[in-house]
Amino acid sequence: MAFLEIEEIHAYYGHIHALKGVSLYVEKGEIVTLIGANGAGKSTMLKTTSGLLSPRHGSIRFEGEELTRYRPHEIVAKGVVQVPEGRRVFGRLTVRENLEMGAFALSDPKLIEANLERVFNLFPRLKERQKQVAGTLSGGEQQMLATGRALMANPRVLLMDEPSMGLAPVLVDNIFNTIRQLHAQGTTILLVEQNARKALEVASRGYVLQSGVMVLTDTAQNLQRNEMVRKAYLGET
């Protein structure tokens, strides 16, 4: 039994069949990446895992417990935490308040303080700006905040949705360094990315999603060498 196990998920947006029987698993301490083109269903996958979307069929189990019957905030309390696509920081709340919201499910003030310390160590920039309103941060800082905010919840599995989207190349490197750091600290990560090259560099295994169907899965190394992946996602000819 894997740590996080998604089995035969079918999900719909209205009448659109967005996920057609998708399965994947993530072992404890692993980075697994899910790559695919725009509209392949990657974000839908994460939304379904977080409970924002209910699957019509299939099961999502975290440590053997079925997640699909819980509501989104309960899933967060179980330790499955998402960094949403497009960062989605609360623009009118301060940096500090954003981080406090990340820890909403926790009640022990000592634990919250310790998490805050950890986030500030990871992103010293956030400590400098903690009283600033989050809407005034730059894109890179907002990504730090979105990641830090998710870490505040003590995630046992971190679901990251396109963390590098819309960022300058230097900042993309920063984000992937952060991901490596988190991995070194033992965080389990399911990473959804359009930047397949970078994603496959940090991940141990990968899945390729195409129009709602899982077409390929292998170790990251093998995927980097795979003909189809190279052509379609790594931009090689």
Partner 1 sequence: MLHKIRERVTPTDLIMWLIGTCLLFLMIWGSIATIKGGTYSIHHWFDFVIFGLAQGSIYALIAMGYTMVYGVLRMINFAHSEVFMSGPYTAYYFAAAFYSSGLLDRQPILCLMIIFLVAMSTSSGIAFLLERVAYRPLRTAPRLIPLITAIGASFFLQYVFRGLFGSGFQAYPVVKILEGEWRFGEFRLLKFQVIVILAAALLLAALYSFIQRTKVGKAIRAVSEDKETAYLMGIDVDRMISTTFVIGGLAAGAAGVLYALMFKQVHFFMGFIPGIKAFTAAVLGGIGNIPGAMLGGIFLGLIESIGPSLFLDGLGIIAPYQLKDAIAFTMLVLVLIFRPTGILGERLAVKKA
Q: Which residues bind partner 1 (CB under 8 A)?
A: 50-52, 71-73, 76-77, 81-82, 84, 86-88, 90-93, 97, 100-102, 104-105, 135, 142, 149-150, 153
Q: Which residues have C-beta within 8 Å of that of residue 38, sequence separation ≥ 6? A: 194
Q: Which is nearer to partner 1, 30 or 161 (CB)?
A: 161
Could you write out the three-class secondary structure of 4-24? EEEEEEEEEECCEEEEEEEEE
156 dihedral zone (left: phi>0; alpha: psi -120 to 50; beta): alpha
Cβ proximity to partner 1, 71 vs 225, nearer residue: 71
d(C-alpha 125, C-alpha 122), whole Å = 9
* Smallest distance, partner 1 to C-beta of residue 91, A: 7
**How many residues are there in the chain?**
237
Which distant-in-sequence residues (6+ apart) come within 8 Å of 134 by Cβ?
89, 90, 91, 92, 93, 94, 95, 98, 142, 145
In degrees, rounded to 5, the angle at the alpha carbon of residue 146 between the alpha carbons of residues 140 and 152 is 135
Least distance to partner 1 from the beta carbon of 153, Å? 6
Cβ nearer to partner 1, comparing 153 with 172:
153
Q: Which is nearer to partner 1, 58 or 72 (CB)?
A: 72
Q: CB of residue 139 vs partner 1: minimum separation in angstroms?
A: 9
**Three-class DSSP category at 58:** strand
Q: Which is nearer to partner 1, 191 or 208 (CB)?
A: 191
Q: Which residue lies nearer to partner 1 by CB, 135 or 228?
A: 135
Contact status, residue 140 vs residue 171, Cβ threshold 8 Å? yes
The dihedral through the CA atoms of 217, 218, 219, 224 has a sign that is negative
**Whole-angstrom distance, CA of residue 192 vs CA of residue 42:** 6
Q: How far is the CB of 49 from partner 1 (least distance, A)?
A: 11
* CA–CA gap between residue 120 and residue 122 (Å, rounded): 5
